[in-house]
Amino acid sequence: MKQPYTHIVLGMGATGLSIVRFLLKQGITPCVMDNRALPPGLESLMKEFPTVGVVVGKFDQDMLLEARQIIISPGVSISTPEVKTAKNLGVEVVGDIELFARAICSTQADVIGITGSNGKSTVTTLVGDMAKRSGIKVAVGGNIGTPALDLLEQEAALYVLELSSFQLETTTSLNCLAATCLNISHDHMDRYLTFDSYRKTKLKLFDQTQYQVINRHDFQAHPLNLTSVISFGLDKPESQQWGVVDGQFCHGDESIMPTNEAAALGRHNQANILASMALAQIAGVKKTAMIEAASQFVGLSHRCENIAKHDGITFIDDSKATNVGAVVAAIDGLHNDDGNIILIAGGDAKKADLYPLRAPLERVKVTILFGQDAEALAELTKNHKVVENMKQAVTYAIEQAEDKDIVLLSPACASTDMYHNFVERGNDFKQKVLEHYGEH
C-alpha cells in the first residue's frame, strides 16, 4: 500500500509551484490538490515535477487528514471546510510566507514586510529600488512578481515582501526588521465575514516586526499593540517622523527633496514615497538613494499610469484600483483646480460596502459605469452613465471631456466579470483610447 503524503499543497499557480520547488529541495515529495478540474499551471506542474502527486477537481479529505502539514496557496481560504476539518484534528496549516520565514530564521538577512489595501506593490517596488541604489543586495517579491520561496535562491541581505491578507492568514513567525500596513479600506468582503476580521488579518503583520511604520492619517491601519513606531503622513512631521512641509518631503526638520520632483503622479503617491523612505531608512538605505529612486520611479503599470494625452485630455489607467479605497485615493490624488475628472468604473465589487464612494463621486464631472455591479455604483450618484463595455465608456468619456480634464479608469471593482484580470482590463482601456485617436 502506498504511503500517504506527509505534505499537501493546496492550489496551483505560481505560488503553488514555488512551494513544490521548495519542498522538493528539502527532500519532500508533496501532493498538489486543486478543487478546479483544470487549474492554471497543471501542465507546467506535471511536466516540471513528474514525481509529485496531483489531485484535481476536489480537496480529498482523507488525504488531508493523513498529512502532517498542509501548505495553502493564497487563493484557497482557510475557511474551506476540508481545511478547517484537518486543522481542527491537528494537521498543521501554513502558507508560503510561513515556510519562507522558517527558512531564513537562521540567517542574517533582514525582511521588510508591506501590506495594506492599496499602494503595497508601489511601495514594495520603490523600497527595493532604493535599497538596490544604496548597494544593498536585495530581493523583491511575495504577492508581487517572484513568489517569496523562489527569492531564497538569491541569498539576499534584504528581502522586501508585498504581503496580502490571504498570505497573512497563515503567517505567524515572519520576524521583520520593519513592516507597514499602508491603509485599510473595504476589500475582499467575498472572503471575510466582516471588515474587522479583514482588518485584524492585515494587522497581524505588526506582531511580527521590530519597527512598526504607520500611516498617521489612517487609524484603522494602526497596530493593536504599539511598540517601536515610525509614522508617515502628508502633514508636518514630528522629530524622526516623515511628512511634507512647504512642498518638501521631510524627515523631522530635515528636507529631503521637493514633492514636485517625484516622478509618480498624485498625492497618494506622495504618501507611498514617504512610507518607502521610512522603511528604507530603517534598512540602512542612504538618503541619496531614496532621492534618486523617488525622482525616477514613474509608478507601476495600471496604477494611476498616465497612458496618453490628446486634445488637452489626460488618460490615466488605474485598473489595479479594485476596491473603494483605491478609487478614493486616486480621486483625491489627481483632483486639482485646472480640470475635471471623468471616471470610468465598474466590475465585480466583491460584496464590498460602496457607500464611502458617494462623496468622492460628487467631485467628478461624470461617472461612466459598466460591468456586473454597475447598477449598484449608479445608486451612489445621479451624475452617471451606464454603458455596455469599455469601447462605449471611452467614447462617452471623450465626448464629455474638455481641455485639461482627466479621463480616469479606476474601477473600484475586480475585473473578473468581463476580463481575465486587471491587466487585461487596463490594456483594453489603453487600446480603446489609441483606437479612438487612430493610433495602434
Q: Please state which CATH number belongs to domain 7-90.
A: 3.40.50.720
pLDDT, tens digit, 9 for 90 and up, residues 364-405:
999 999 999 999 999 999 999 999 999 999 999 999 999 999
338 band by pLDDT with thresholds 50, 70 and 90: confident
Q: What is the pLDDT of residues 372-382, one digit of tens each?
A: 999 999 999 99
**pLDDT at residue 322 greater than cutoff 70:** yes
Domain ranges of the chain: 7-90, 99-296, 305-434
Dihedral sign computed on CA atoms, order 97, 98, 103, 104: positive
The architecture of the domain spanning 305-434 is Alpha-Beta Complex (3.90)
Express each pLDDT in 124-153 by its tens digit: 999 999 999 999 999 999 999 999 999 999
pLDDT class of 1 with cuts at 50, 70, 90: very low
pLDDT score for 143 = 95
Instruction: Render pLDDT for 232-251 as a digit per residue (tens, 0 to 9).
Output: 999 999 999 999 999 999 99
pLDDT tens-digit map of 49-75: 999 999 999 999 999 999 999 999 998
Residue 136, SS3 per DSSP: coil
Kindly report the three-state secondary structure assignment for every residue of 38-95: CCCCHHHHHHHCCCCEEEECCCCHHHHHHCCEEEECCCCCCCCHHHHHHHHCCCEEEE
HEC per residue, 222-285? CCCCCCEEEEECCCCCCCCCEEEECCEEEECCEEEEEHHHCCCCCHHHHHHHHHHHHHHHHCCC
Report the chain's mean pLDDT, rounded to a whole number. 95
Residue 343 phi, psi (nearest 5): -100, 135
Residue 16, all three cell numbers: 503553488
pLDDT value of position 13:
86
Count CB neighbours of 117 within 10 A.
26
The confidence score (pLDDT) of residue 189 equals 66
Q: In the CATH hierarchy, which fold is given to the domain comprising 99-296?
A: UDP-N-acetylmuramoyl-L-alanine:D-glutamate ligase (3.40.1190)
CB neighbours of residue 425 within 10 Å: 26
Comparing 132-146, 179-193, 257-271, which segment has the lowest mean pLDDT? 179-193
Pick out the residues of the known binding site for ATP.
116-122
Which are the catalytic amino acids? Answer: 120, 143, 188
> Collapsing DSSP states into helix, strand and coil, what is residue 409?
strand
Pairing between β-strand 248-251 and β-strand 254-258 as defined by DSSP bridges: antiparallel
